[in-house]
């Protein structure tokens, strides 16, 4: 018999965090609205320079505009300009970074899917210099030999990644897929749906699909909380995994899907009988992953095929890296500034 521990964790921007998200929730929502408006203004055939200047003034501490071709300040419209909006960032608190490692050390997963990671070199540095060296004391049995990240569609540099102690056979990205959204062709996936094929043992391999669906904020006014956008993402993930024999092949859809299970946007997956939400193995009052424990606070998922469900032994959620006044917290998590993340990590144990 062999065992597998699989985890998913939104580590909330591993090394740096956009200044926008260092404000209150209300202020962040307001700022993201201005950023959305500015992005729309910079896409128009004729620029409204007065409104662009007003929005830039409101956002001067939080974003910068990168001019690649032409100057946005003098171009007459999008036809004369190429560039993008870039978020200004603050380094993550040193204790917060160590608390991310503390969470990973506590769960000690064989395979961990990560959400909101800036890039692969930084993730490797984090593994080598903090997690492996400081927390695992360079124990060779604990090294994550296989660390992968493909740069996704989010220009803020928040990507999905995987760290595995088991061999990775191949990766497949879905970043180039397009779908229609209010009459426009957009990226289907806000970041990616990253497929990772991992060799569990001689007889079995696991197809892991790592996702970070569109957030509830920063949305089109016609789609409050981006339910329609996430619905399209759910439907596409379902289409992808239906290409497999879910009764016989080991499939897991993991990551931060940014909706609770009962939402319309999630129903293509949560009401699909051939996959199982492992959090259902817990009492309803213990299923939440985003700051609180209630089922309505479940935003993160490990959804497994029937074949993998038959091997499921245990499920837990590691929440000690998230700061709450009631706790329990790690002793080093003393505030929201020092917390590892506002998400808990889901951990699922399987036996083959």
Does the pTM surpass 0.85? The reply is no
Domain boundary (40, 55, 89) is at 89
Residues 173 and 224 in one domain: yes
* Residue 239 sits in the same domain as residue 207: yes
- Domain count along the chain: 2
Q: At what angle do helices 49-58 and 25-41 cross, to 10 degrees?
A: 160
Residues 2-46 have pLDDT tens digits of: 899 999 999 986 766 778 877 777 888 888 889 989 989 999 999
C-beta of residue 105 within 8 angstroms of C-beta of residue 155: no
What range does the domain containing 131 cover? Answer: 3-16+91-351
249 and 137 part of one domain: yes
Domain boundary among the residues 29, 60, 89 is at 89
Q: From 89, 115, 131, give the residue that closes a domain.
A: 89
- Co-location of 55 and 104 in the same domain: no
The answer on 97 and 38 residing in a single domain is: no
pLDDT in tens, 317-330: 999 999 988 889 99
Q: Based on the fold, state whether residues 83 and 96 are members of the same structural domain.
A: no
Q: Which long-range contacts (CB under 8 A, 24 or more apart) does 133-140 make?
A: 134/98, 134/101, 135/101, 135/102, 135/104, 135/105, 136/105
The predicted pLDDT at position 25 comes to 72
């Amino acid at each position: 018999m062999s065992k597998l521990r699989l985890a998913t964790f939104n580590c909330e921007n591993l090394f740096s965090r956009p200044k926008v998200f260092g404000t209150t929730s209300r202020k962040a929502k307001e700022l993201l609205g201005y950023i959305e408006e500015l992005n729309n203004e910079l896409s128009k055939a004729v620029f409204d320079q007065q409104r662009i200047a007003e929005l830039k003034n409101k956002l001067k501490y939080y974003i910068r505009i990168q001019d690649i071709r032409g100057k946005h300040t003098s171009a007459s419209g999008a036809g004369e300009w190429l560039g993008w909006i870039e978020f200004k960032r603050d380094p993550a608190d040193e204790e917060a970074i160590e608390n991310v490692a503390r969470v990973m050390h506590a769960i000690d997963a064989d395979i961990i899917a990560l959400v909101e990671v800036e890039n692969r070199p930084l993730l490797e540095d984090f593994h080598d210099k903090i997690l492996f060296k400081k927390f695992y004391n360079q124990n060779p049995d604990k090294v994550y030999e296989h660390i992968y990240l493909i740069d996704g569609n989010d220009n803020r540099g928040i990507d999905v990644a995987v760290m595995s102690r088991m061999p990775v056979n191949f990766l497949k990205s879905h970043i180039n897929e397009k779908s229609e959204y209010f009459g426009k062709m957009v990226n289907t996936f806000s970041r990616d749906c990253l497929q990772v094929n991992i060799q569990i043992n001689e007889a079995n391999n696991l197809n892991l699909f790592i996702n970070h669906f569109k957030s509830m904020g920063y949305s089109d006014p016609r789609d409050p909380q981006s339910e329609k956008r996430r619905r399209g993402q759910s439907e596409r993930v379902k289409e992808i995994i239906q290409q497999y024999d879910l009764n016989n092949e080991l499939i897991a859809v993991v990551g931060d899907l940014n909706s609770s299970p009962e939402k319309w946007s999630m129903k293509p997956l949560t009401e699909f009988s051939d996959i199982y939400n492992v959090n259902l193995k817990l009492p309803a009052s213990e299923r939440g992953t985003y700051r609180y424990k209630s089922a309505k606070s479940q935003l993160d998922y490990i959804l497994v095929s029937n074949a993998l469900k038959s091997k499921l032994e245990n499920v837990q959620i590691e929440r000690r890296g998230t700061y709450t006044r009631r706790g329990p917290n790690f002793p080093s998590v003393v505030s929201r500034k020092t917390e590892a993340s506002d998400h808990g990590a889901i951990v699922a144990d399987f036996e083959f």
